[in-house]
Amino acid sequence: MKRVSHQQASQLLHNKFVVVLGDSIQRAVYKDLVLLLQKEKFLSNKQLKSKGEMSFEQDCLVEGGSLNSMHNGTGYKEVRQFQSDHHLVRFYFVTRVYSPYMRSIFDDLRNGLTPDVIIFNSCVWDISRYNSSWLDNYKENLNMFFAELKGIVPKETLVIWNLTMPLGKTMRGGFLVPEIEHKAPQLRDDVIEANFYSGTLADAYGMDVLDLHFQFRFSLQHRTADGVHWNALAHRKITSLLLEHSAQAWGVVMPLAVVEHPEVAAQLPAIGNSKPARFDYRPPNHHHQQNVMRSRHARHHYAPYTRPRHGQYDHHGRHY
Q: Do the beta carbons of residue 284 and residue 296 sit within 8 Å?
A: yes
Q: What is the pLDDT of residues 156-199, one digit of tens each?
A: 999 999 999 999 988 776 666 666 666 667 888 999 999 999 99
Residues of the chain with pLDDT under 70: 1, 173-184, 258-320
Q: How far apart are CA 189 and CA 167, in angstroms?
A: 9
Ordered structural domains, the chain, with CATH: 2-281 (3.40.50.1110)
Nearest to 191 by CA among 103, 116, 119, 126: 126
- How far is CA 234 from its chain centroid? 13
Nearest to 299 by CA among 254, 253, 251, 252: 251
Q: How far apart are CA 236 and CA 243, in angstroms?
A: 10
pLDDT at 316: 43
